[in-house]
Amino acid sequence: MFTPKYPSPDTAPAVPAPALTTDTPATTAPVAVPAWAPAPVVPVSNRPTVQLTPGSALALAAGGGAVVLVVGAVLVSMLLAVAITGVSIALVAVVLRLLVKDLHNHR
């Protein structure tokens, strides 16, 4: 899946070797690209294209908003559950402290 896919060697275009010249540097002509060289071909993607219409964009935005609201409600409810649990544990600790103090005073 993650290995690159190379074309087989027989499908690659044949490129002729450049000719070696013994010209002096002062008379060297600029190298031109041969006219027969094919233009690079962009491979066609097999993925389907997604085209958003105004209605589907509106539905997508509404669905995203609904997801944000649901996730927000779940997070707020979890926060409230933790806060209520903390308050109830603190209240139980105060009551137990008062009971233990009352037991020590009546001895």
Indicate whether this model's pTM tops 0.75. no
In a domain, 29, yes or no: no
Domain-embedded: residue 8: no
Classify residue 79: in a domain, yes or no. yes
Whether 83 is in a domain gets the answer yes
Tens digits of residue pLDDT in 71-106: 999 999 999 999 999 999 999 999 999 999 999 887
The answer to whether residue 39 sits within a structural domain is no
Asked whether residue 43 is domain-assigned, the answer is no
The pLDDT, as a whole number, for residue 81 is 98
Whole-number mean pLDDT of the chain?
82
Distance CA 75, CA 68 (A): 11
Smallest Cα–Cα separation from 12: which of 41, 46, 45, 44?
41
> How many structural domains is the chain composed of?
1
Inter-residue contact 38 to 13 (CB < 8 Å)? yes
